[in-house]
Amino acid sequence: MNIIETLTARIEEYRLTNKQPCKNYATKEAAEKATAKAAEAAGKYFDSEGRAPRYVVFFIPAWGRWVGGLDYTELFRRSTANGGYIGAIAGFYVY
C-alpha cells in the first residue's frame, strides 16, 4: 500500500463534505515545520519518553497545497505509549 496515495484519496474524499478537512500549506517548508511541531506535541502527549511519531508531508495536486500526516499506528504500538484523547493534536491527518 502506498500511504501517500491512500492518504491523498482519504483527504480528497473527506473534502467533498468538509471544505477544510485538514491543515494545509502553500509550501513544503511550511508544511514540514508545522507537521514536525505537531509530531513533537504528539510525542510529548502520547509517549512516556516524549518521542515524536513518524510523519509524512506530501502534496495534494487537486488543491495545489501541502499537508502532513502523523503515524499514530506506530506511536500507539510502542511500549512507551500512554494512550489519551486521539483528537489531542487537531487538524492533521493520522494513519
Instruction: Give the torsion sign (CA, 72, 9, 57, 31).
Output: negative
Instruction: Give the torsion sign (CA, 60, 63, 65, 71).
Output: negative
Helix (H) or strand (E) holding 29: helix 28-46
How high is the pLDDT of residue 41? 97
How high is the pLDDT of residue 93? 77
Cα distance between residue 44 and residue 19, in whole Å: 30
Mean pLDDT per 10-residue interval, the chain, length 95 residues? 90 84 93 98 97 97 94 96 90 84
pTM over 0.85: yes
